[in-house]
Amino acid sequence: MNIKYLKFPFALFSISILMGCGATTLVSTPVENIDAVPLKISELSESQKKTWGHADLVSDTIPGMSVDKAYREIIKNRHGKTVIVAVVDSGMDLEHEDLDDVLWTNKGERPNNGKDDDGNGYIDDIHGYNFLGEAYNEQLEYVRMLRLNVGDASARAKARLKLDEEYPKALQNKQQYEQIYQVVKNADEAVKKELGKNSYTKKELMGIEAKTEQMKQNIAVLNQMFSYGESIQSVMEELSDGINYFTEQVNYNLNKDFDGRKPVGDNPYDVKDMSYGNGNPKNRVDTESHGTHVAGIIAAERNNGKGVNGVAKNVKLMSVRAVPNGDEYDKDIANAIRYAVDNGAKIINCSFGKSFSPNAQWVYDAIKYAASKDVLIVHAAGNDGNNLDNPENPNFPNDHNFGNSEFTNNVITVGALTSNYGSKMVANFSNYGKQNVDVFAPGDAIYSTLPNNTYDFQGGTSMAAPAVSGVAALIRSYYPQLSASQVKQIIIESGLRSKASVIVSGDPEKATTFDNISKSGTMVNAYNALLLADNISKGKTTLSKNTK
């Protein structure tokens, strides 16, 4: 899956304009205790918008993970064990003010000497490893399959049909965004000249007495734009982002003739070709921000007076750059997982995914290897608004290989929630599935770290997965005796349950009950998870699923 799908969902504008402490029970039982929570009527404050994923549903009527409550009532001043969390992603800003003190450091390696000092097979891997070299833009997997003639004939036939459908659509969207942008730009310039000022409010816009038909059209266009943003400038920035997004699709992601792997120099379809990559897992350009944003959600330095608080403390973040601006390679993901496992990671965050995977077995074998080393993998469910239980909607990687049961019990797949508790609490972009999605967590409009000491909102199941990785890190920090499979089951069983009717895929016609869109029917809750972990570690209760 193109990584930009995981950043935020694009919505085309209408083209008509061209024309309690000491608690012993979980708050999730009985179900009625949650479903009876009143809906939040008032809009979130600016502060709540930036921290809603840490809020408490019962006290705040916001479907967060009760992170603040967990720190206030359970963690307090307790000292936990340091947990290494690998972020397999697009690389991260290693100098970020909110991340620089929580980076994993390979103490056996001497920086920048061009040697593999610790003998782990990777040179100068101080804070992780970069399996992409200097590559950035990349094709989607099904486009690569056609260019290189890889995968079986049936998969290539599906790839051809998909490309024939998606390329013209991307080209059309690009042209529409460009047209809309130009119309808005022209109208904006005319209104600024009319008002004699460089910015204006909607009230000022509507106060203009239009003396020409053109000015009437300008006012109508800009009035519509104000429904998409607080200012015309912000709308134009989003339109510009849309142009860039679809331009990259046309030029790179869906361009059958583009070879994004050339700078790397390896054969990405030869798993034995290991002489590639380098020890610098930093993002290459400012727009390669995904990994930095994910990292901040997990473990941005807490209470340092800057930016944001990550979910977990006592974490060291390992950066493993393996996800380009396009679809990741199976070989890179398999090697990234093995690298993280071999270098001490106990949790691996995987905020990526795709619908074609010609060498999926390499990744499955790496997931099994992680399981054998007691490593938990947290995976984003994807942002196509699809039911993953439908065989027509494959999503890779997964823990079932499209069979009837999981082949391992160390992978947890996460869908995305919005801050709107009630019928709209499932993000319209989030994939779902009674069998193939485990839990839901905050993922829409999440505020976190971006390159160059900046911060902003991004949305996607990519943001929900690291929220869960943070909860898993808390459990593994304070209850290190618990296994990866136990941590997974604790997160699943301790979540808040609801039978409320919810809209999925943004389509009211697809409304169903919340307990019917994931295996657990739960919203992840850090407070509950720590309570259950405590009870499990003390032998006071057992998990419903047999775990070791």
Residue 249 lies in a domain: yes
Give me the pLDDT at residue 188, please: 97
Residues 517 and 370 placed together within one structural domain of the fold: yes
398 with 518, same domain: the answer is: yes
In a domain, 9, yes or no: no
**Residue 454 token pair:** 């900046």
| Structural domain harbouring 169 | 159-253
27 found inside a domain: no
Confidence bin at 277 (pLDDT 50/70/90): very high
Both tokens of 31, joined, read 């179900």
Residue 206 shares a structural domain with residue 134: no
Q: pLDDT, tens digit, for every residue of 227-274?
A: 998 899 999 999 999 999 999 999 999 999 999 999 999 999 999 999
Q: How confident is the model at residue 191 (pLDDT cuts 50, 70, 90)?
A: very high
pLDDT in tens, 389-419: 999 999 999 999 998 889 999 999 999 999 9
Q: Are residues 406 and 307 in the same domain?
A: yes
Give the total number of structural domains in the chain: 2
Q: Examine the pLDDT at 361 and tell me if it is beyond 90.
A: yes
**Does residue 144 fall inside a structural domain?**
no
Region of 387 on the Ramachandran plot (φ > 0 left; ψ -120 to 50 alpha; else beta): beta
Domain boundary, last residue among 191, 218, 253: 253
Compare 13 and 350 and report the one with higher pLDDT: 350
**For 504-523, what is each residue's pLDDT tens digit?**
999 999 999 999 999 999 99
Domain boundary among 205, 221, 253: 253
Co-location of 239 and 303 in the same domain = no
pLDDT tens digits, residue range 296-312?
999 999 999 999 999 99
Residues 197 and 115 in one domain: no
pLDDT at 42: 80
Domain-located, residue 146? no
User: For position 22, what pLDDT does the model report?
Assistant: 31
Read off the CATH number of the domain in which 443 is found.
3.40.50.200
Domain assignment present for residue 152? The answer is no
Q: Give the residue among 88, 468, 463, 467 at the shortest CA–CA distance from 293.
A: 463
- On whether residue 2 sits in a domain, the answer given is no
Q: Residues 228, 131: one domain?
A: no
Alpha-carbon distances, residue 257 vs 9, 33, 118, 138, 144 (angstroms): 27, 56, 40, 11, 9
Residue 4 within any structural domain of the chain: no
- Residue 3: what pLDDT? 37
Could you tell me the pTM of the whole model?
A: 0.92
Residues 440 and 493 occupy one common structural domain = yes
Confidence of residue 544 (pLDDT cuts 50, 70, 90): confident
For residue 15, the model assigns a pLDDT of 37
Mind listing the pLDDT tens digit for each residue in 16-47?
434 333 333 344 433 345 666 677 768 899 99
pLDDT at 546: 60
7: pLDDT confidence band, cut at 50, 70 and 90? Answer: very low
Is residue 460 a contact partner of residue 8, using CB atoms and an 8 Å limit? Answer: yes
pLDDT band of 448, cuts 50, 70, 90: very high
Residues 124 and 182 in one domain: no
Helix count and strand count (H, E) for the chain: 15, 13
113 and 183 belong to one structural domain: no
Structure confidence at residue 36 (pLDDT): 67
Find the mean pLDDT for residues 441-460: 97
The answer to whether residues 87 and 42 belong to one domain is: yes
Angstrom CA distances, 166 to 172, 178, 239, 349, 427, stand at 10, 18, 20, 29, 23
Do 369 and 446 belong together in one domain? yes
Domain boundary among 222, 253, 284: 253
477: number of Cβ within 10 Å: 20
